[in-house]
Amino acid sequence: MIHSIIRLRRWQSVRKTRRTYKDSLFRDIFNNEKRLPEIYECLEGASADIHDIRLTTMDEVFFDSEKNDVSFIVKNRHIILLEHQSTVNDNMPLRILWYIAELYRQHVTAKSPYQSKRIDLPAPKFYVFYNGRANMPKQWQLRLSDAFGDTKGAMELIVEVININDAAGNELLDKCAPLKAYSTFVAKVRESVHEGCTLDQAVPRAIQYCIANGYLTEYFTEKQEKEVFDMVSFQWDQELALEVRAEEAREEGMEKGMEKERVFSIRSLMANLQLTAEKAMDALSIPKEEQARYKAML
């Protein structure tokens, strides 16, 4: 529990910084028509220029001001959804289903689905860029049908998850400079924090490293340092919150396991040595203030 409390305090200390800018760094970098042709070519193997791209990213959708990260239409041929994740989330196909349904709804007129003539739609492609700390393969798929269990359904949605951590060795990073730059920036922030820096020290160090080494130099030169910090700390809040919840769940599971073992030991002593519950708990050195709770479990 001590570790989760420490992490919670770190999370709360970051939250003390008042922010009005609520976008993620990934979203800010890649919602830019100038960078998307390169992303598209690397992912689909087809060329496109800035005039072929139309951004369709939604600012808010459904609940809690949730936003999709990046979506764009290319030549009215493809609609591409890009999402960034720092934790493994097997429910991304469901989330993306919500997003694409809303994007298609916006793409056509309200009367179009009721006309007899077929509506031509851009073909969807879904990508998640993963750069979390868990050791994951360099690429894998998530399928909506996995959520159906053994029951066959009439719908499928496939999400390509691409690990953009340097350690994963994904060839895509060598082909796509903006993704490589983003991955490098995040890695440098984490490296500095791991070395003991605070987040407000780590972010400027990562910015200077990227500028000096040609990673999105124009972007990081033009951006105000505080604006980048706000975007990173917003993402950091979410990551730390997830870590705290996961660690609390693990520790809660361990505590429940220890409780079960103690109850089993109390019962064994009572049955085998004919001890009262109180004497069995004394023999097991269970504190007096906890004995009533354990007695209620017998």
Which pLDDT belongs to residue 112? 92
pTM summary value: 0.72
Q: Where are the alpha helices (DSSP H) in 171-224?
A: 172-175, 177-194, 199-212, 217-222
E strand map for 95-149: 123-130, 139-143
User: What integer pLDDT is reported at residue 260 of this predicted model?
Assistant: 82
Only one residue has tokens 């429910």, namely 91
* Residue type at position 92: M
What's the pLDDT at 292?
Answer: 87
pLDDT along the chain (298 residues), means of 10: 47 41 79 94 94 89 66 96 91 95 93 93 97 90 94 96 91 94 92 85 93 95 87 63 52 70 83 84 85 86
Identify the three-state secondary structure at position 234. helix
Q: What's the Cα-to-Cα distance from 269 to each of 277, 279, 286, rounded to whole Å?
A: 9, 9, 13
What DSSP string describes 5-27? HHHHHHHHHHHTS--S----HHH
Give the tokens for residue 167: 């350690």
Distance CA 234, CA 258 (A): 36
Amino acid in position 287: P
